[in-house]
Amino acid sequence: MESVLSEDLYRNPHRLSHCGKTISFNCKRAPGTNDNEGSELIFCSLSFEREGNTFLKAADGAAVISRKRLAHVDIVKCKSVTDAQKRATAPCVLVIKKSEKRSSFQYSLLTLSSSNRLEPCVEFKLPYQMKGAVYILQGPTVLWRHEGGVLYTSPQAEGVRQVPIHFSHCVVGELPLHKGQVFVLGLQKLPEESTSQTLGYFVEDGQVFDGSVILPHLYISITQCILVVAADRVDGVLKCDVVAATSNRLLVYFENGVVKDVCQLPFEQPENIQVVNTGRYGSLFAVSFCEGHVCTIWKETFQVAALWSSVTSIHVDDFLGCGTDQMLLVFKDRIIALEEFLITDLCGISFSEGLIALWDSDDESKNEALDDKIHDIPAVSSKPRIDKLWHRTTEGRMVVGVILTTDRSAPVTNVSLSILTDAGQCSRPAVIQTQSQVFWLPAACSSPSSSSSSSFSASTFPEPPAKKSKQHNAISTNDLNACRVAVTAVTKLTPLLNSGRVKCHVMLHYIQTPDAFSFMSNQRPVVLHCGQVMLTIVLLFSPDEVREDFLSLLAVLDHWVFHIDSPEYSLGDINGWIQKRVGCKKIEVSPQYLLLNSSGPSALMLLNWHQITPFQGELHVHSREREKSLSV
């Protein structure tokens, strides 16, 4: 097998995975003489070699698509789907051939056989060019939308057909069953009524069914992509588990059309959902987004496991031949001559390297120059960066705070502060008893996991999951990884004043995992010296004008959290309701907090509504009087 490919294949390749290999497709001019030069579709199959930690060429080939020199040929989409006639999975590629005057568009769906030959499967002509989403589904079936209608074709359809139902919104998916696999869900407006009903249509047999058994009515118009995890027919009734990604950045798990779990997605515009079966470690949902973003969610906990950016494509297959799935993430070029890839299952398997060279490796000087570029790239420090150290005194207590920036690719946990008095003539410093809190802050470049409307949110620092992840985007740091945190420590003034110590050392304590794929037992504690503070009396005049003063106020007030859940999966405007019910004003430095009484620190009450999902939320109450908070 060869490890170097021609430049033509990587000009703009389309990729898919099949039987543990990744296959690339591209179009190029066919060799010929003058006017006889046409276009051909070329492919190259790559298999992963563990020892060399690289992909090697397993097979390649080509098929002539057009013999006309002026015809323009391009690839629309490629995907590996089940061939109903052969009852086997086959790589499929949809190609468009445009006429010279662009008056007609010839489409060809080809399959790659087990003998590595491109064979025509379906051919059809349209008076227009497909726009928007185009689907290659089991059958193989090609499905698309045009002028409000849903059209499809397949070897069984014998031509282009249109779904006989006009949908105002529609969702396309397929069931993991032997019959009635490809379906279209949509909203159909009832005649002479203002409401609409959810209908489903099976493409193979034209059967119409109640679409609400798959998706509730309210989710049809906001669903961007869908994955049917499991399906069965019990006494003729369809039962299925479905995962859907919505336009409002939610991943929702449905059982028989009923919402069972919700996860907030870190990016907008989801495009595709794939399932990754890691074996005994469970399953992951891999969601790909526009602009090259990818995130994974554990099926068991429905929590985000990892996220990446600058991803060209993501594929799920058994690339290592170990009997379970892995993800192959292909990244955009970071250096002109290399593409980067990552193979991982987030459970201990991790292979990453430059994918392949775009030119022949005859020129050693080019390779040496590239090596120099790679080695000159500085390593990104995973140590938290201390941005600011401050202290305040209020109500007989001193509050010390640190604002720091951490890297999401090197997660930290168990964060706290300790205060040590200056040793002076003594042999060792004294440790002052303190109580620590952690507050999330808006990053300079907003984090994908934080809402753009949030300012401060009080919490303990989140524990990383047992199965942790690391962003393999090491060539250049990504702003999406940045996370700003404020850590405070509160101690009584009396011991400090009695000891006569006016200078204190502030120490940051945290636990960091050196390897993103290490388990919890490999975590190690770290202590970082943040600096010194001088004990001075600074009055807390205006808690809503200065950020540090406001954080100090949050640190000294007692804190309660009320969990609010809507079993009917609907939640109103809680913030608006609180403002109308009790009357309050927003804090300028953090508009998410509502101030009920500003007559003095002892009478203060701060409220913060944190929306977790559209159906769940937490009301944070900061107050001195518990009875008053309960009366709210």
Q: Over range 554-572, report the average pLDDT.
A: 72
Are 138 and 97 found together in one domain? yes
Sign of the dihedral through C-alpha 404, 401, 593, 622: positive
Owning domain of residue 395: 381-539
Strand partners, 421: 504
Using one digit for the tens of pLDDT, what is the confidence trace for 175-229?
A: 986 655 899 999 886 666 656 788 999 998 888 999 999 999 889 989 999 999 9
The pLDDT of residue 423 is: 55
Q: What is the distance between the alpha carbons of residues 473 and 478, in angstroms, rounded to a whole number?
A: 8
Using one digit for the tens of pLDDT, what is the confidence trace for 26-54?
A: 887 766 545 556 788 889 999 998 887 88
Are 499 and 572 found together in one domain? no
Q: Over range 313-322, report the average pLDDT.
A: 92
Cis amide linkage into residue 140, ω under 30° from 0:
yes
Are 18 and 140 found together in one domain? yes
Lowest-confidence segment of 22-36, 316-330, 403-417, 544-558 by average pLDDT:
544-558
The pLDDT of residue 28 is: 78
Are 487 and 578 found together in one domain? no
Q: What is the distance between the alpha carbons of residues 541 and 257, in angstroms, rounded to a whole number?
A: 54
The pLDDT of residue 10 is: 43
Lowest-confidence segment of 62-71, 403-412, 509-518, 603-612 by average pLDDT:
509-518
Confidence of residue 534 (pLDDT cuts 50, 70, 90): confident
DSSP state of 582: H
Confidence of residue 632 (pLDDT cuts 50, 70, 90): very low
Asked if residue 457 is part of any domain, the answer here is yes
pLDDT, averaged across the chain: 75
Are 516 and 610 found together in one domain? no
Which residues touch 181 (CB under 8 Å, ≥6 apart)?
Answer: 137, 138, 139, 174, 175, 202, 204
Q: Over range 297-302, report the average pLDDT.
A: 92
Using one digit for the tens of pLDDT, what is the confidence trace for 377-430?
A: 333 345 788 888 888 877 677 888 898 887 655 566 778 888 887 655 545 566
Are 81 and 53 found together in one domain? yes
Lowest-confidence segment of 60-74, 105-119, 143-157, 291-305 by average pLDDT:
60-74
The pLDDT of residue 616 is: 77
Q: What is the distance between the alpha carbons of residues 616 and 302, in angstroms, rounded to a whole number?
A: 15
The pLDDT of residue 22 is: 92
Asked if residue 71 is part of any domain, the answer here is yes
Overall number of domains in the chain: 3
pLDDT beyond 60 at 59: yes
Which residues touch 461 (CB under 8 Å, ≥6 apart)?
Answer: 412, 413, 414, 415, 438, 485, 510
Asked if residue 220 is part of any domain, the answer here is no
Confidence of residue 161 (pLDDT cuts 50, 70, 90): very high
Sheet holding 250-255: strands in order across?
223-234, 237-246, 250-255, 258-264
Using one digit for the tens of pLDDT, what is the confidence trace for 479-493?
A: 334 578 888 888 887
The pLDDT of residue 180 is: 59
Are 580 and 522 found together in one domain? no
Are 38 and 153 found together in one domain? yes
Q: From residue 82, give the alpha-carbon distance in Å to each of 111, 202, 314.
A: 11, 17, 19
Higher pLDDT, 614 or 126: 126
Higher pLDDT, 178 or 374: 178
pLDDT beyond 50 at 546: yes
Q: From residue 3, give the alpha-carbon distance in Å to each of 104, 230, 328.
A: 40, 39, 18
The pLDDT of residue 538 is: 43
pLDDT beyond 90 at 566: no
Asked if residue 374 is part of any domain, the answer here is no
pLDDT beyond 50 at 138: yes
Confidence of residue 143 (pLDDT cuts 50, 70, 90): very high
Asked if residue 447 is part of any domain, the answer here is yes
Last residue of a domain, one of 112, 146, 162: 162
At 591, the amino acid letter reads P
Return phi, psi of residue 396, to 5°: 75, 15
Q: Is 599 exposed, middle or buried (0-12, 13-18, 19+ CB in 10 A)?
A: exposed
Confidence of residue 135 (pLDDT cuts 50, 70, 90): very high
The pLDDT of residue 473 is: 35
Asked if residue 497 is part of any domain, the answer here is yes
8 A C-beta contact, residue 252 and residue 237: no
Are 410 and 484 found together in one domain? yes
Asked if residue 267 is part of any domain, the answer here is no
Confidence of residue 349 (pLDDT cuts 50, 70, 90): confident
Are 514 and 577 found together in one domain? no
Last residue of a domain, one of 105, 138, 162: 162
Last residue of a domain, one of 512, 539, 566: 539
The pLDDT of residue 497 is: 62
Q: What is the distance between the alpha carbons of residues 607 and 593, in angstroms, rounded to a whole number?
A: 5
Asked if residue 193 is part of any domain, the answer here is no
Are 129 and 25 found together in one domain? yes
- CATH code: domain of residue 391: 2.60.40
Are 466 and 607 found together in one domain? no
